Amino acid sequence: MPPDSRAELLSLLSSLCDGQITQEEHARLESLLNSTAECRRVYLEYMQIHATLLIDPQILTKAPIRKPDTAEVATPAPRANWLHWGRRNLGQAWLVLATLAASLLVQFFWFPPTSPLPEQEPALREVVSAPKKTYVATLIRSVNCVWEAPREPVGNGARLAPGYLRLPKGIASIRFDSGAELIVEGPAEIMLDSSTAVTVKSGKAVLHATDSGVPFDLRTPGSTLVDIATDFGVSVTPDAEEVHVFEGELQRVSNTAARLGAEPECLKAGESRRYEVGSDRAEKPAIDAKEFVRYVVDNSRPALDPNAGLLAYEGFAYDRAMALQNGKATGGIGWSGPWRASTVRPGPKTEFGRFSLNIKETLSRPDAVNPGIGGSFDYAGFARTFRKLAQPVRLDRDGAYYLSFLFRRHRSSSSSPDSLGILLWSDDDYQQQNFLDFRKRLYIGIKGSNQLSTHLQRMTTTGSIPLAKGTTYLLVAKIAAGSAKPEQVFVRVYGPDESVEPEETGTWSLQSSPFRSDLTFEWIELNINGKSRQIIDEIRVGATWESVTAPWLAATKVP
């Protein structure tokens, strides 16, 4: 079994055992089980391990897993319904049924269903677990798109789950979590299969693969195109499909060839093929890169407009150090009122006293389009302050929010409680002033010496990143929100020598698991806590990637 097929099978089995498998994934699992005896062997072993671990993990050390005999593995599988295979292998079928029954019984008695929480306590039931495989891609950019049911992405930055997308009109760029990017030109119909596979039912599409070494499958009604680090276009009509390879090379496996076990066809850069429906005979038309839209460019909006999509900004341009304490800090844009409830407790043996506002020093990045002005939120010890957003961050509606700020740490230690970050509060939570209840706040920041962290109630994600003392970094976060689908948080930290991408990055430093919440955040808290001096500056909240990164973007270049 090829490594990529085995990885896909194990992923589907994991979703099955977790009870999170979708209809499309179930169909794909059945297809794999129909394909080879080896897939069925892996299935049996996996399910037996799953049930054994639930019943008694020590059993695995007492008895080996039963394996089919050589003759059974070597028997070719017909492409009939898998139930026919089960009838001919009755012993293994009973093993599967017993395994599944044991698994379900153990899960029922060990983890009985819980009663729903009362309606009068919504905050306690805001965040619940969500399927690990909820999303597979992100809508990066769209121009004049008209989406058609059953799926309608909200806008740029929207997270996409497996399923159909119909695009009667427009051009869209979709980046898969594996790194591959698909440019779709309407009218088109595609199906997002997984983070490493897509099916183009009709229309034109261009795939830009990555050099990560992870194969990506582009499927059509008649074939599967497998590539590594390839750029190619495909056009699917009711009569034929065309493939044009711009860079690299790919392998084409037609559905007929796959059934017969024939070798795949290799296409290299500069080659093109046209295949009539139901035939593997290929014509060789001249390759035409102009036939496809290879990059999405929106000329209708100004590039690097710092105010397009910007919801709130604070650069701490104040004249008095006591402005945060006396309610006079009303600068910036997108706020409802001044900074409030500023609290400071200086650390031992520090020069810092009553004020956390540094009016003399600001943070900036090299070659910034708009260098930082004003002061900064700067302290050694414990300091926090709050401000209300004019436009809240809503997790109960479909959309994407972005947050960015500059930070610098002069010294930090993993053994000390040093931390800096931004917390989002609901208005109810803020009015109750129950500061010890951290479950209702979304935290994004740095803890210890180098721990990037985000958490909200039962969702906690951390990751280590290299950080140097006395160095200014840019933190950019994305909050993917949904009314009927899970939320997800992404965080990226840029060093002083790292370039910020002109469109949403595909290499996040931290990515949370999907979770569910209906909270509405109206307040932002700046929080510094530690023995050493730490600084936060240039805070931006926006509805687009560009709105929170514009000051640090180089001139946008289109290949």
What was the pLDDT predicted at 27? 73
CA nearest neighbour of 283 among 268, 271, 266: 271
pLDDT in tens, 443-466: 999 998 889 999 998 889 999 999
What was the pLDDT predicted at 102? 44
Highest mean pLDDT among 17-26, 290-299, 313-322, 550-559: 313-322
- Poorest-confidence range of 54-58, 476-480, 534-538? 54-58
CA distance readout (Å), 470 to 123, 202, 382, 397, 444: 39, 54, 19, 39, 20
Share of the chain above pLDDT 90, in %: 39
Which contacts of 21-30 are long-range, i.e. CB under 8 A and separated by 24 or more positions? 22/133, 22/162, 22/163, 24/162, 24/163, 24/191, 24/193, 25/133, 25/162, 28/193, 30/82
Residue matched to tokens 């059934």: 259
What was the pLDDT predicted at 40? 78
Other residues' Cβ atoms within 10 Å of the Cβ of residue 375 = 22
Rounded to the nearest integer, the mean pLDDT of the chain is 79
**CA of residue 546 relative to chain centroid, distance:** 18
Residues 6+ apart with CB under 8 A from 66: 44, 48, 95
Higher pLDDT pick, 292 / 56: 292
**CA of residue 494 relative to chain centroid, distance:** 18
What was the pLDDT predicted at 529? 92
Cα of first residue to Cα of last residue in the chain, in angstroms, is 38
Q: How many CA atoms lie within 13 A of 530 on its CB side?
A: 25
What was the pLDDT predicted at 286? 79
pLDDT in tens, 199-226: 999 999 999 987 767 788 999 998 999 8
Highest mean pLDDT among 119-128, 134-143, 377-386: 377-386
Quote the tokens at residue 173.
Answer: 């760029």
The answer, yes or no, to whether residue 4 has pLDDT greater than 80, is: no
What is the dihedral sign for C-alpha 334, 337, 339, 342?
negative
What's the whole-number mean pLDDT along residues 126-144? Answer: 69
Higher pLDDT pick, 118 / 156: 156
For strands 197-208 and 216-219, give the pairing: parallel
pLDDT in tens, 311-349: 999 999 999 999 998 889 999 999 999 999 788 888 766
Residues 6+ apart with CB under 8 A from 415: none
Record the pTM.
0.69
The answer, yes or no, to whether residue 544 has pLDDT greater than 80, is: yes
Higher pLDDT pick, 397 / 438: 397
Instruction: Place 23 in a pLDDT band, splitting at 50, 70 and 90.
Output: low
Q: Is 475 helix (H, G, I), strand (E, B) or coil?
A: strand
**CA of residue 462 relative to chain centroid, distance:** 15
Other residues' Cβ atoms within 10 Å of the Cβ of residue 20 = 15
Cβ neighbourhood burial of 506 (10 Å; 0-12, 13-18, 19+): middle
CA distance readout (Å), 203 to 33, 60, 234, 273, 295: 30, 50, 8, 16, 16
What was the pLDDT predicted at 426? 94
Instruction: Place 368 in a pLDDT band, splitting at 50, 70 and 90.
Output: confident
Let me know: does 358 contact 344? Beta carbons within 8 Å.
no
Quote the tokens at residue 70.
Answer: 């050589």
What was the pLDDT predicted at 523? 97
Residues 6+ apart with CB under 8 A from 361: 375, 376, 378, 535
What was the pLDDT predicted at 51? 54
Let me know: does 400 contact 479? Beta carbons within 8 Å.
yes
Residue matched to tokens 């062997």: 41
d(CA 250, CA 252): 7
